[in-house]
Amino acid sequence: MKLVHSLAELREEIASHKKSQKSIGFVPTMGALHEGHASLMREARENNDFVVLSIFVNPTQFGVNEDFSKYPRTLPEDCKIAEASGVDLVFAPSAEEMYPLGFQTYIEVGKVAEPLCGKFRPGHFRGVTTVVNRLFNLIEPTRAYFGQKDIQQCLVLLRMVKDFGSPVELVICPTIREKDGLAMSSRNRYLSATERKKSLVIYRALQAVELLHQQGETEVAELSLAAEQELARVPEFELQYLEILSYPDLEKIETVKDQAVIAIAGFLGKTRLIDNSIL
């Protein structure tokens, strides 16, 4: 496995690989890797000749009062996980490398980026699409791998790729959870022992809705109520949103007819947690 930091080195690696005309699987991350990330890398390894992982804590997707400066940065450990997961090339650029002086071109996806995290993290998806598009241009992957854990991110990027007519195939991989159900996240390490226990309330709320839906309930008001009741058991969980929207368009619905997504976000202490389930 090779680790490069500069665009020049990355371009060289990609160019020499492209000569062989084999497939490239790409996994973009912000590092602090865990089993959720590893599952994407393994999936990429299985289906591509060459696997590229990017590790970049992207400043443009963080709001002013968010955790950019304290976001965990663990490159040596990340490289071990990447190597064990079959990655060929790690690209870990600096912010100056990705956003050279004078950078001013951003990509903004429309409606699908507006609800949920779009409402609570203004500018977040603009940062995500801008950096992912830039990485796609540099790496020209055959396939790129994303986690369902960040479902709106997946849908926003799907829209971007479709609207640009990009040749990359996006693969959405299932959410990997801790044994007790908490969705793995780099931010889980911020949780105190007490908060860690309380964090399970999100998964329980999702499960309550899934169960009720399996029993035949399709009214969004009823399904939401089941989740609200679960969430109310942990008053410390400061809810940002609990929404059941159409999938994949993320539009308001009153009844679940085809596919829908239930998405939850909120804070436990200072830690923001999100999770979702597709109904």
Q: Name residue 261's beta-bridge partners.
A: 245, 278
Structure tokens at 32: 């602090």
Q: Which of 175, 199, 271, 277 binds ligand AMP (CB under 6 A)?
A: 175
Whether residue 248 is preceded by a cis peptide bond, meaning omega within 30 degrees of 0, is yes
- 94-133: which residues touch ligand AMP (CB under 6 A)? none
CA atoms lying within 13 Å on the CB side of residue 100: 4
Q: Name residue 50's beta-bridge partners.
A: 24
Q: Which of 14, 139, 176, 206 binds ligand AMP (CB under 6 A)?
A: 176
Whether 37 is catalytic: yes
> Residue for token digits 């399970």?
200
DSSP-H helix ranges across the chain: 7-18, 35-47, 75-84, 95-98, 117-120, 124-139, 151-164, 193-198, 200-214, 220-232
Count of beta carbons in the 10 Å neighbourhood of residue 239: 17
Q: Does 186 bind ligand AMP (CB under 6 A)?
A: yes
- Among the options 17, 34, 37, 124, which is catalytic? 37
Which x/- pattern over 201-240 shows residues binding ligand AMP (rule: CB under 6 A)? Answer: ----------------------------------------
Closest CB to ligand AMP among residues 19, 179 = 179
Q: Which of 212, 202, 204, 200 is nearest to 260 (CA)?
A: 212
Q: Which of 38, 44, 87, 183 binds ligand AMP (CB under 6 A)?
A: 183
Q: Which of 37, 126, 198, 213 binds ligand AMP (CB under 6 A)?
A: 37
To the nearest whole angstrom, how small is the minimum distance from the Cβ of residue 21 to ligand AMP?
27
With contacts defined by CB under 6 A, how many residues of the chain interact with ligand AMP? 17
Q: Which residues would be at the binding site for ligand AMP (CB under 6 A)?
A: 29-30, 36-37, 39-40, 146-147, 149-150, 173, 175-176, 183-186
Which residues are known catalytic residues? 37
